Amino acid sequence: MASSRLARVAESPTIRIANIANKLKHDGIDVISFSLGEPDFDTPGHISDAACKALYSGETHYSPSAGIKPLREAIAKKLQTENNLNLDASNVMVTPGAKQAIFEVMMSVLDDGDEAVLFDPAWVSYEPCIKFAGANPKWVSTDPENGFLPYDIGDHITDKTRLIVVNSPCNPSGGVFGKDKLKEIADLAIDHNLLVLSDEIYEKILYDEKHYSIGAMEGMQDRTITVNGFSKSYAMTGWRLGYVAANEAFLHDFQKIQSHSVSSATTFAQYGAIEALEGDQQPVEDMVAEFRQRRDILVDGLNDIGIHCSRPRGAFYAFADVSEYGDGEEIAEKLLSDAHVAATPGSAFGPSGNNFMRLSYAISQERIREALERIENCLL
Q: What does the binding site for ligand PLP look like in residue numbers (CB under 6 A)?
A: 37, 97-99, 123, 167, 171, 199, 201, 229, 231, 237, 242
89 versus 101: smaller Cβ distance to ligand PLP: 101
Strand partners, 33: 342
Q: What is the H or E stretch that residue 247 is in?
A: none
Is residue 168 within 8 Å of residue 175, measured between CB atoms? Answer: yes
Residue type, 74: A
- Other Cβ atoms closer than 10 A to 378: 18
Least Å distance, CB 218 to ligand PLP, is: 26
Q: Which of 241, 192, 185 is nearest to 215 (CA)?
A: 185
Least Å distance, CB 104 to ligand PLP, is: 12
301 versus 314: smaller Cβ distance to ligand PLP: 314
Least Å distance, CB 304 to ligand PLP, is: 28
Least Å distance, CB 259 to ligand PLP, is: 19
CA distance 342 to 17: 8
Strand partners, 198: 166, 226
362 versus 368: smaller Cβ distance to ligand PLP: 362
Q: Which residues of 317-345 are buried (b: 16+ CB within 10 A; e: fewer)?
A: bbbbbbeebebbbebbebbbeebbbbbbb
123 versus 212: smaller Cβ distance to ligand PLP: 123
Residue nearest to ligand PLP (CB): 97
234 versus 271: smaller Cβ distance to ligand PLP: 234
Least Å distance, CB 238 to ligand PLP, is: 9
268 versus 349: smaller Cβ distance to ligand PLP: 349
Cis peptide leading into residue 121 (ω within 30°): yes
Helix/strand/coil (H/E/C) assignment for every residue in 274-334? HHHHHCCCHHHHHHHHHHHHHHHHHHHHHHHHCCECCCCCECCEEEEECCCCCCHHHHHHH
Cα Dmax for the chain? 59
Least Å distance, CB 167 to ligand PLP, is: 5
Least Å distance, CB 265 to ligand PLP, is: 10
110 versus 166: smaller Cβ distance to ligand PLP: 166
